[in-house]
């Protein structure tokens, strides 16, 4: 199983966190590929078995530019069955804004609606995400290692 880590970023924080997560998972023996959502056709999701989405929220709750095509695909695509897919999401945001981590929330909603299975609860991080994702990542590692043994 190869885990696909996809990021959507406006300022680079989600990219940096996705790469950090990828390196930490690799150190735990979990093979993964980290890619910008803009570089992966959304239709590729049908070939994936497990994904992690790391995304910021832009403007008034919208996805960052490089995640907008994926968001549209999942939101408006016809007859998309993702029952084969496991996913985990980290949303980055700022509680100061009314649509805090909305992009992560939306990805969670649309993936679930299409039949995908959450590996663990979505994590919504505030400005100091470096201090917030470590416990979530430890839980993800346990879940992924258990999946590898199935």
Q: Which of 131, 112, 128 is nearest to 53 (CA)?
A: 112
| Torsions phi, psi for 77 (to 5 deg) | -60, 145
What's the pLDDT tens digit per position in 37-91? Answer: 999 999 999 999 999 999 999 888 899 999 999 999 999 998 899 999 999 999 9
- What local confidence, expressed as pLDDT, does residue 95 receive? 82
Query: What Rg, from alpha-carbon coordinates, does the chain have?
Result: 14
What's the pLDDT tens digit per position in 103-117? Answer: 999 999 999 999 999
Spatial contact of 80 and 112, defined as CB atoms under 8 Å apart: no
Q: Which of 87, 117, 102 is nearest to 6 (CA)?
A: 87
CATH code: domain of residue 121: 3.40.50.360
Q: DSSP letter at 28?
A: T
Question: The whole model's pTM is what?
Answer: 0.95
Number of domain units in the chain: 1
- Containing domain of residue 43, as a range? 3-149
Tokens representing residue 40 in the block: 């992966």
Distance CA 150, CA 146 (A): 7
């Amino acid at each position: 199983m190869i885990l696909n880590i996809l990021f959507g970023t406006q300022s680079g924080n989600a990219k940096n966190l996705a790469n950090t997560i990828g390196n930490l998972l690799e150190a735990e023996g979990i093979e993964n590929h980290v890619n910008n959502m803009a570089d992966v056709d959304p239709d590729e999701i049908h070939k994936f078995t497990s994904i992690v989405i790391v995304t910021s929220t832009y403007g008034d709750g919208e996805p960052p530019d490089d995640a907008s095509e994926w968001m549209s695909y999942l939101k408006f695509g016809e007859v998309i069955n993702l029952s084969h897919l496991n996913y985990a999401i980290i949303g980055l945001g700022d509680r100061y804004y009314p649509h805090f981590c909305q992009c992560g929330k939306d990805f969670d909603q649309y993936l679930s609606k299409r039949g995908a299975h959450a590996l663990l609860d979505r994590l919504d991080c505030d400005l100091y995400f470096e201090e917030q994702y470590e416990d979530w990542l430890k839980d993800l590692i346990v879940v992924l290692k258990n999946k590898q043994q199935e």
